Structure 1
Amino acid sequence: MSEIDPFGEPPDGGLNAWLKVFGCFLLYSNIWGFTLSFGAFEVYYSHNLLSSSSPSAISWIGTVQSWFLIIVGVLSGPLFDLGYFRPMLFIGNFGVVFGIFMLSISTTYWQVFLSQGVCMGLGAGLLYVPSMALIGLSFSKKRSLAQGIVTSGIAVGGISYIVAFDKMTATKGFGWAVRTMGFVALAICIIAFPALLTGTSALAKARTKRKLFDPSAFKDSSFNVFTLSSFFTFLGYIIPYFYIPSFAEDTLGISREFSLYILVFSVAASFLGRLSAGLVAHYLGPLLTWFCCAAISGVLSLAWIGVKNQSGLITFAVFWGFCSAGLVTLPAAVFPSLCPDQRRLGTRVGMSWGVSSFASLIGSPIAGALLKHKVTHGKQARSNYLGPQLWGGCCLLVGAGIILVLLLMTMKRRRSSIFI
């Protein structure tokens, strides 16, 4: 097996490189799987463990977790370049697993917030960007295929943890349900370590340092419009994933168990959506495909207002998962073509990603604040989700409009067709 050489050409295959795909697949199933499964926790907290807390307050737990995942990832990239991959691998996985076990014994809001939001988020952030960089050092021509396999771990982990949480809380209670998930996460880490550590001794050598901040980026109109479009799409993207289960149970009277399975349907559809978005982008161009995904997702979020029964919600959830999947994967394919100096690509990606991460932090709590409870409908109290639905849909449509501006700007600058 060939050693990964961060200063040379990627091997683009071989046992060592594919072991990194396997290990990163497992990491993604942990760090992103828990993020996508927060909708299951949201509905449980609102009805049981944290029933005295507002929907907005509960949403802060999940959004802080996802925000730390992204914002710490911006900082962990330079640490990876400085040769700290192995320490971050151990510390990051410890943070995720430790946070899960602390969550299992949490009984108050702040305990849940610190364990699930802060501890797990910080641990995941140390693993996110280094895992992407590891694939980049292992593949060149086959990089898209390798990244596709790795990111599929998001859906696999999300589905697995949602189903496990549902089954275990019903039979063993919250504490043992989360502890069981913690043991699974620990086993995943133990299996992933050998695959990720084999042939990576060269990564302990410091590589060229890169700046964290490039002030000239803000003089680049393409950078500013791209960042603004990402910000608005991230404001609305995660809202349905957080609120589909509670909407199903509170508004439509669907059982808690099947409400979570509707979320599973959405996450499963996102797996196919990621693969399809990449394929369509190959032919139509990532920028045009990104615009289509944002526009369709915004329309779907507004169409959610008209959902009145179980079959309608299932249809919405599946289409939402499929069509919105590109909102996460496509920006990474768009940005390199907008950067005038590839030597500053890492710095500018980090800056743009860091700004957009704040949208992930505030989007769902704002939606939670707009959620109205105890609206009488006949003899039964129902929740009114019109506020979150309008908020998510309008943010996505504004984001789509800004992407369209970016598309027109890029067409004019390159004097090219719309397929970019």
Structure 2
Amino acid sequence: MAYRNHGDEKVDIEAEPVQIPPLLDIPIEEKANVLPPPAPPPDGGLRAWLQVLGCYLVFFNVWGFTFAFGLFQNYYETNLLRNMNPSAISWVGTTGSYLLIVTGVISGPLFDLGFYRVMLFGGAAVSTFGCMMLSLSTKYYQILLSQGICMGLGCGVLYVPGLALVSRSFTTRRAVALGIVTCGAPIGGIIYTIVFNQLIDGIGFDWTVRVMGFIMFTSFSIAFPLLLWGAGNTGDIAAGTTRKIFDKNAFSDLGFWLYTWSNFFIFCGYLVPFFYIPSYAQLELGTSRSLALYSIVIASGSSVIGRMVAAFVAGRTGAMIPWITCVVVSAVMCLAWIGIHSVPAFLAFAALYGGFSGALIPLPPTIFPTVCPDPKVLGARLGMAQAIGAFASLIGSPIAGALVNSGGDSGTGQGYLGLQLFCGCMMLFGSVLLSALWFYLFRKRKTKILI
């Protein structure tokens, strides 16, 4: 039997039950000591890494067709739409990439409101439907509607929500997770290019595109359970709040404009080589169609390496140094393209450009929280910046295509001189604005030199 002293008396503890006051009677200052500590933020786990794999498969399709559009540009120029100007043909690819990016301004808030499942199934269905309709297309307007508009809208509602879903499940490992997800884009470009090249001569354009559609449908079907099964981070309509889409105060922020316009000029030239290097190889260097298409595979494969290396360096030096470096080198490579007249040198160019330009997709979003330190309007301003950047992707390749001189002497590369100067100078000017942004953030925002 246990006792405790109470003055000069011994009191039986077992006979005196302890009365625990109800939680509601505890003063507010003491409740924090009674309630259990909040759960730590998620940072991985099996559920989260399965979603990374699922989003990887989504990006395999969402950006895979965009990176593989060079093979379609080449086929349309030399076969299906041979009487059309390269600039007009490139509008198909740029319309798709524009809608892919700009739709994120709407799909982001819808994700916050809990509509991810609807967008996932709807976007996958519309994208696959557009691919199947492309297999039936023989005229320009049909190709524009199916591959440009239909697939662009379908992929657009999947892009930003996929990034947001993975971001909800990671903290310290978020950069690695997003890096793996975005690598699905060039891998998709590689697979679709190889499939197209291996099948086009045997079964024709229509069935080749249908096979690509079946691959898209299958990969989406595998991604659905990985993304949704047992997932608790796909949004809640009841708990969601409408996100601000437009912030007029951004127009008076110099940092916002430097970030936006540097990206605008960079993306005016970024996709141009991916769209035109197959046509350049076949029409100017006289390579076979197979080798011309494999130049896309080389560029996309090196892009995977470039993204991972840039992410590794950015984790140690900050994102600004590798970002500016990759933009400058990519611009110089486009200008050096002018002096390339042999197949080995051209393939080396494709590999180097793909490697350095690969960093231009994952690095910009990592800087934006520094450009816009207010989390209340960060999403709105990022959406505004992406919308302007998407317009650059829309007009860049058609302008470059209009500068192609089809009457140039084959083997000299002079027919593509205007295109090469355009994409190189646009990206070089973008790097100048990017350097100004770095200086502005360091001097005006008092940030560290390694941002």
TM-score of the superposition, structure 1-length normalised? 0.95
SS of 1:115's partner is helix
Cα distance in 2 for partners of 1:301, 1:359 equals 17
Per-residue deviation, residues 191-237 of structure 1 (Å, max 9, x unmatched): 11111111236624241221110000111110011101010000000
Q: Does 1:232 align with 2:232?
A: no
Contact 2:52/2:166 (<8 A) preserved: yes
Query: In the alignment, what sits opposite 1:333?
Result: 366
Structure 1 counterpart of 2:235, from 170, 190, 203: 203
Instruction: Select the structure that is richer in helix.
Output: 1
Residue from 80, 85, 88 that aligns with 1:54: 85
Residue of 182, 185, 197 corresponding to 1:154: 185
- Mapped partners of 1:397, 1:413: distance in 2: 24
Give the conservation status (yes or no) of the 8 Å contact 1:29–1:154. Answer: yes
Matches of residues 404-419 of structure 1 in structure 2 within 5 Å? Answer: 404-415=435-446, 418-419=449-450
Shift of residue 419, structure 1, vs aligned partner:
2.3
Equivalence for 1:33 = 64
Q: What is the one-letter code of the residue matched to 2:55? A: C
Q: Aligned AA for 2:237?
A: K
Q: What SS does the aligned partner of 1:205 have? A: coil
CA drift at 1:9: 5.9
Deviations 1:233-264 (A, max 9, x none): 00000000001100000000011001111111
Is the Cα contact below 8 Å between 2:182 and 2:362 reproduced in 1? no
Of 122, 130, 142, the residue aligned with 2:161 is 130
Question: How do 1:260-409 residues align onto structure 2 when only pairs under 5 Å count?
Answer: 260-376=293-409, 384-409=415-440
Q: Which range is displaced more, 70-79 or 194-203?
A: 194-203
Q: Distance in 1 between matches of 2:371 and 2:39?
A: 26
Q: Does 1:15 align with 2:46?
A: yes
**In structure 2, how many angstroms separate the alpha carbons of the residues matched to 1:234 and 1:214?**
23
SS class of match (1:325)? helix
1:242 equivalent in structure 2? 275
Deviation at 1:411, TM superposition (A): 1.5
* Distance change in 2, residues 1:354/1:8 (3 Å): farther
**Aligned partners of 2:253 and 2:92: how far apart in 1?**
35
The aligned runs of 1:58-69 (5 Å cut-off) are 58-69=89-100
Q: Give the equivalent residue in structure 2 for 1:74.
A: 105
- Determine whether 1:97 maps to 2:97: no
The separation in 1 between residues aligned to 2:443 and 2:413, in whole angstroms, is 50
Residue 383 (structure 1) shift: 6.9
1:78-123 CA distance string (max 9 Å, x none): 0111111111011100011000000001010000100000000000
Distance 1:247 1:178 in 2: 23
Tell me the CA shift for residue 381 of structure 1.
Answer: 11
Q: 2:117 matched to which residue of 1? A: 86
Could you list the runs of 5+ residues in structure 2 that have no partner in the other structure?
A: 1-37
**What displacement does 1:340 show?**
2.9
Shift of the 249–340 alpha-carbon distance from structure 1 to 2, 3 Å rule, reads same
Query: What is the Cα deviation at residue 372 of structure 1?
Result: 0.7
Could you tell me whether the CA contact under 8 Å between 2:341 and 2:412 is conserved in 1?
Answer: no
Total equivalences in the alignment = 412
Distance in 1, matches of 2:95 and 2:40, equals 37
Question: 1:298 is matched by which residue type in structure 2?
Answer: A
Amino acid aligned to 1:98: F
Q: Which residue of 1 aligns with 2:30?
A: none
Secondary structure in structure 1 of the residue aligned to 2:88: helix
Match for 2:72: what amino acid? F
Identity of aligned residues (%): 48
Distance 1:309 1:269 in 2: 20
Distance 1:383 1:374 in 2: 9
The change in CA–CA distance for 1:289 and 1:72 in structure 2 (over 3 A counts) is same
Partner Cα separation in structure 2 for residue 155 and residue 281 of structure 1: 20
Name structure 1 gaps, 5 residues minimum.
1-6
Give per-residue Cα distances to partners, 1:257-283, cap 9 Å, x unaligned: 011111110100000000011111122
After TM superposition, the runs of 4+ consecutive aligned structure 1 residues lying more than 6 A away are 380-383
Retained in 2: the 8 A contact 1:373–1:382?
no
The CA RMSD measured in Å over matched residues stands at: 1.6
SS of alignment partner, residue 107 of structure 1: coil
TM-score calculated relative to the size of structure 2: 0.89
Q: SS state of the match for residue 83, structure 2?
A: coil
Structure of larger gyration radius = 2
SS in 2 for 1:172: helix
Deviation at 1:327, TM superposition (A): 1.4
Post-superposition shift, 1:10?
4.4
Name the CA shift for 1:416/1:98 in 2 (closer, same or farther; >3 Å): closer
Could you tell me which amino acid in structure 1 is paired with residue 386 of structure 2? W
Superposed CA offset, 1:64-90 (max 9, x none)? 000000011121000111111111011
Deviation at 1:415, TM superposition (A): 4.4
1:176–1:362 CA distance, 2 compared to 1 (3 A): same
Contact 2:179 2:362 in 1 (8 A): no
- SS where residue 406 of structure 2 aligns? strand
Per-residue deviation, 1:139: 1.2
CA distance in 2, matches of 1:383, 1:93: 42
